[in-house]
Amino acid sequence: MKSSRSLAEFVSLKSPICVLSLIVAVLSGSVAQADTRGEQLYRNCTICHGPDAEGIPLQLAPALSGLSEKYIIEQLKKFKGGIRGKHHEDVAGLRMLPLAQTLASDEDIQAVASHIVAQASSQVETSLEGGDATKGQALYAVCQACHGPDGKGNDLLNAPSLVNQHDWYQLTQLKNFKSGVRGTNPQDITGAQMRPMSMILADEQAMKDVIAYIQTLSK
Ligand code: HEC
Ligand code: HEC
């Protein structure tokens, strides 16, 4: 009773500032709610992606903390719809696929993505050997058109950030795009944009070279 009366008094002041602060209070309440929901949902993800979304190599799970909200949402929708991760040779994608099904609605997908992007992105360890970053820099000239000279990606082109991402994950993805394990579902429009780019990398050595250069952008 007391609180509703004071709320009525508060509103009855009719001061624009008070009304504004009321709106702000209500809005931040709903943001806080989405945060809690996102945090709750993310508990199902920590076992593979880690508590800070830094990724866990043994689980084949990439870092998520450096990715944009838009990209995370789109990938979750693709996994949920079986547009990514359904190929029978996609060992890692098939692990992720059922997890996206645990996100029941677009609101849940939004909430968990907001929670992930709120985590600070930290540098990850390099693990691949034998990549030549100087040769890779020349190859990266093509990639930067979409992923940016700094590797941070471009939401307008649907190109994700490549910095602070595990090198082993990037090698798997480049191989998957090239072999058609990723990006060949007819509904995968953004995957189809990346696929021809993987084709210009002649072999595994070229992939390792460009990844070695990408890793220098994270430092
Ligand atoms: C059983 C382990 C596992 C769990 C649990 C899991 N993931 Fe994943 N996730 C993976 C793997 C493995 C990949 C990499 C798939 C690939 O290589 O294509 C992945 C990929 C992703 C990607 C794509 C990243 C990129 O760079 O394209 C997103 C986004 C993602 N997961 C979000 C989530 C969210 C959100 C949750 C919790 C609801 C979750 N994952 C739970 C294993 C898991
Ligand atoms: C025409 C724009 C474009 C160019 C050029 C391009 N990419 Fe991409 N790249 C994309 C898009 C779009 C995606 C996201 C695909 C999806 O939605 O599944 C992507 C995804 C990726 C991924 C997977 C990232 C992740 O988190 O799963 C890697 C790795 C990658 N690109 C590397 C490269 C490299 C290396 C080059 C240069 C040889 C390159 N890209 C050139 C558009 C591009």
Q: pLDDT at position 10, please? A: 44
The residue whose CA is least distant from atom 33 of ligand 2 is: 143
Examine the pLDDT at 3 and tell me if it is beyond 60.
no
Given a contact cutoff of 8 angstroms between Cβ atoms, the answer to whether 30 and 74 are in contact is: no
Q: Is 143 in the pocket of ligand 2 (CB under 6 A)?
A: yes
Q: How far is the CA of 176 from the centre of ligand 2 (A)?
A: 12
Examine the pLDDT at 183 and tell me if it is beyond 80.
yes
**Which residues lie with the beta carbon below 6 Å from any ligand 1 atom?**
41, 44-45, 47-49, 59-62, 64, 67, 72, 75-76, 85, 92-93, 95-96, 99, 102-103, 112, 160, 172
Predicted confidence band at 97 (pLDDT cuts at 50, 70, 90)?
A: very high
Chain-centroid distance, C-alpha 135: 28
Span 6-65, pLDDT tens digits: 444 444 445 555 555 545 545 555 556 667 999 999 999 999 999 999 999 999 999 999
The residue whose CA is least distant from atom 18 of ligand 2 is: 191
Tell which atom from ligand 1 comes closest to the C-alpha of 60: 12
CA angle 39, 44, 48 (to 5 degrees): 115
Structure token digits, residue 117 = 């992007």
Q: How far is the CA of 48 from the centre of ligand 2 (A)?
A: 23
Q: Within 10 Å of residue 100's Cβ, how many Cβ atoms? A: 19
Given a contact cutoff of 8 angstroms between Cβ atoms, the answer to whether 173 and 201 are in contact is: no
Q: pLDDT at position 13, please? A: 46
How many whole angstroms separate alpha carbon 188 and alpha carbon 199?
A: 17
The residue whose CA is least distant from atom 26 of ligand 2 is: 160
Residues 6+ apart with CB under 8 A from 85: 78, 79, 92, 93, 94, 96, 97, 100
Q: pLDDT at position 33, please? A: 65
pLDDT mean across residues, the chain: 89
Span 130-160, pLDDT tens digits: 999 999 999 999 999 999 999 999 999 999 9
Examine the pLDDT at 125 and tell me if it is beyond 80.
yes
Given a contact cutoff of 8 angstroms between Cβ atoms, the answer to whether 76 and 84 are in contact is: no
Structure token digits, residue 171 = 């090698």
Structure token digits, residue 29 = 């309440």
The residue whose CA is least distant from atom 27 of ligand 2 is: 173
Predicted confidence band at 123 (pLDDT cuts at 50, 70, 90)?
A: confident
